Amino acid sequence: MELLALSDIAKRTGIPAPTARRYASLFKDFLAGRRLGRMTRYPEDALAVFHRIGELYAEGRITSEIEDILRREFPRTIEVGPAAEPIALPAVARDLPANLAEALSDALSDALSSSIAHFSDALDKLAEQKTSLDSHQTDINKLKNGFVLLARNLKRVARREQADVSSQVERLTERMRLMEPKLAVMEEISLTLTSDNADLKARVSAQEVEIRRLREDRERLEALLRRQGGLTD
């Protein structure tokens, strides 16, 4: 049977190499990996497991749910390493029934795997929220710059008093109207975005204040546009 490196699995499945390494770490009990020297290689049967893990993550499953599904769909294996030197155990430990020792080992292994999985999920969600918030802040900065440019254009229009003031005012009004849906979406995102991280909450609160201030600026600009339109009439 051909044994594959993680790089080979990434190429055959189309899964990015860093993601494949994370799958291998989280779900090694289902992949039948074999330690060869300093590298772990996997049988071709593991390709189906990698594919299935990717599908389940794409469906929005969390790590603990994926473990339960894999436990039902694939036989669970344990990586076997080189034989180790025997270790002398206390007399009490040697007297434990074999099934009790195995049950204790499985319970500890499951608890550790579950803790690692939940911690990994928490980190992933925190990273996603931070990315969303950073993108949100970038949009607000662009919108602020747009209002600054809009105010400057209005001042130029008022100073020049050119014959095409009315058409320019209409174009600027249309631009502001097109901005309205984006403002509404951004405000809704700010209201619904929640996070357990206090710093993220503080940033969301600051962005909501900034959006309200931008709306007030927009209303003042609209009033100025209406006055400009009245002058041209």
Mean of pLDDT values over 170-188? 80
Helix (H) or strand (E) holding 219: helix 198-232
- Of 56-60, 108-112, 197-201, highest mean pLDDT: 56-60
Q: For position 144, what pLDDT does the model report?
A: 77
pTM: 0.35
Return the half-sphere exposure (C-beta side, CA atoms, 13 A cut-off) of residue 66: 26
- For 110-132, the pLDDT digits (tens) are 666 666 666 666 676 676 677 66
DSSP state at residue 31: T
CA distances from 39 to 3, 4, 6, 42 (A): 11, 10, 9, 10
- Per the model's pLDDT, the better-predicted residue between 68 and 189 turns out to be 68
Mean of pLDDT values over 87-93? 43
Q: What do you get for the CA distance between the two ends of the chain, in Å? A: 85
Average pLDDT over all residues of the chain: 77
Helix (H) or strand (E) holding 183: helix 165-192
Residue 175 pLDDT more than 60? yes
Region of poorest pLDDT, from 2-11, 24-33, 174-183: 174-183
SS3 (DSSP) at 162: coil
